[in-house]
A and B are shown apart, each in its own frame.
Chain A
Amino acid sequence: MDNNKKVWFITGASKGFGLSLVKQLLDAGQLVAATSRNQEELIKAVNTPNNNNFLPLQVNLVNEASVSLALQHTNETFGRIDVVINNAGYGIGGAIEELTDKETRTAFDVNVFATLNVIRFVMPYLRKQRSGHIINISSIAGIAPGTGWAIYGAAKYAVIGLSEVLAADVKALGIKVTVVAPGAFRTSFLTPDSLSMTENPIADYVDVRETHAKYLKMDGEQAGDPEKAAASIIKIVGEENPPLYLLLGGDAYNRALTKLDSLYKEIHQWEELTCSTDLEHDLQIK
């Protein structure tokens, strides 16, 4: 096998970043296994007839057996798996009180538990190889969440948390981890197919409605270029020391910096109370 050819496994590939990634990688002659809920849609979207470098897979990411089978299929077809991109996900809008327990859990199914399914079942291959790069697509909402998107933010925060720990846990096995936090990109993310909004709005939540309207108006106007995002993600895979955090977009950069600044200020403002809770010195050592 050509040394420059890597095997990529990309979830949620029939649109958005996933689709841009798959197309750019195939253009560059890479070997790509891509998943979607709907194989037909995926094949149509990628549109690369008779290309043996492309393995389109119909996968239900919430189902462990389906995920396990897809990875097995990828390994059998291409002989290895080098890069895993957990890209599948969708947005969910609504105040916490407006979203049911069921809607909340469903948002975590795809945005969190599916990613964990892929990690759980790909690790045996990566461990055996003693190499690999896991890239989890979170969001700037995983660092600085928006009003009215609490559950989406929670899911994306969770992805950042698990990525940070995973990076430390698998480093000794030669496996790298990067968590990507994009800002607003001109994908189909803000269309009904990628976004689920509360079915039971409560009149009191005027601010939430206003924020939602503002976001939805951004559809088609987002400053970020998905092709450039895909190129950036591909670029860090080639790096000797890739970042744990990769933000994408000037908006993401600014939102993260502002958030970190306000956290820093808050931590210092409350330092005295924070540092007042340790046991008296003679009680510390038992």
Chain B
Amino acid sequence: MSNKKVWFVTGASKGLGLSLVKRLLNEGYQVAATSRSLSDLTKAVGSQSEQFLPLVMNIKNEESVQNAIELTISTFGKIDVVVNNAGYGLVGGLEELTDAELRDNFEVNVFGSLNVIRKALPYLREQQSGHILNISSIAGFTGSFPGFGIYCATKFAVNGFSESLAEEVRPFGIKVTIVQPGYFRTNFLSEGSLITPKNPIAAYQNVRDIQDFHQNSMDQQQVGDPEKAAEAMIRIANAPEAPLNLFLGADAYELANKKIAAVQSDLENWKELTTSTAIA
């Protein structure tokens, strides 16, 4: 067995997941990669290497996730780095999206990642090592993405549980990093990836404009390089000290700073009211 790390990457048939898997294989890592479709995945990765374990997995289903993790362990003997990358974008006003439409976004972006974490942790605890990379988004740190309320809520949720998770698993030698990319040139905004409301409401012209901007002006014009994002993730997985929050892209950097300043400003402006609530 190679002394290189074993990676487990979800949602690997496209986007950042695919770039990451390809680079890892090129660098000689052992990679278990999951997708809903095995043929899409093997075609996209195009590797016959024994280092590559393509897995079909339904991330919404605990049993399916458990099977994928077990297959990875029985094939490579361990899991060092778990990358919760599977996820998709949803644009629409909160009023426009049905309970069913928005729950599905949580199914994949939140509950799917939690399924993987829940099923991978027994192995990582046993090893007393491991690194969980949760791919969130700058939209999980700031809600400055009008029209993306549910998507932001899902990614905020990822940031929230990851912050706690880092503390939960620190005693076991397991690290957690929340990767928060800005706009990267993947097919995230392309047809078939970005989901839109089935029943749009005319009053939300602002949301339609945002949707149109993302679909027709931003798609394939993003400045972020998925190859460099993959490189950054590999770098932090190998670093002795990894950040809890890793933003990717100059746009994400700027937005994160703005967000901190905005909350600080609300905190200061309303400090008197905030601190007036103690029991006398």
Binding site for B on A (CB under 8 A): 64, 95-97, 99, 101, 104-105, 108, 112-113, 116-117, 119-120, 123-124, 127, 141-151, 153-170, 172-173, 185-186, 204-208, 223-225, 228-229, 232, 235-236, 243-250, 252-253, 256-257, 260, 263-264, 266-267, 269-271, 273-280, 283-286
Contact = CB atoms under 8 A, between A and B. Distances in A.
Interface stretch (B4-12, B26-34, B35-43, B154-162): B154-162
B194 interface: no
A277 B228 contact: yes
B46 interface: no
B99 interface: yes
A21 to B, nearest CB: 13
A286 B228 contact: no
A45 B158 CA distance: 37
In this complex, the interface size class of chain B, counting residues with CB under 8 Å from chain A, is 35 or more
Q: B172, B204, B245, B273: which has the most chain A beta carbons within 10 Å?
A: B273
- For chain B, what secondary structure do more than half of its interface residues adopt (helix, strand, loop), or is it mixed? helix
Q: B97, B159, B244: which has the most chain A beta carbons within 10 Å?
A: B159
Interface of B: 62, 93-95, 97-99, 102-103, 106, 110-111, 114-115, 117-118, 121-122, 125, 139-140, 142-150, 152-161, 163-165, 167-168, 171-172, 181, 184-185, 203-204, 206-207, 220-221, 223-225, 228-229, 231-232, 235-236, 243-250, 252-253, 256-257, 260, 262-264, 266-267, 269-271, 273-280
A208 to B, nearest CB: 6
A271 B5 CA distance: 26
B118 A253 contact: no
Contacts of A173: 203
Given A165-B149, A225-B278, A246-B273, A278 B225 contact: yes
Contacts of B184: 277
Contacts of B221: 285-286
A224 B275 CA distance: 9
- For chain A, what secondary structure do more than half of its interface residues adopt (helix, strand, loop), or is it mixed? helix
B80 to A, nearest CB: 18
Contact of B167 (A147, A223, A260): A147
A120 B225 contact: no
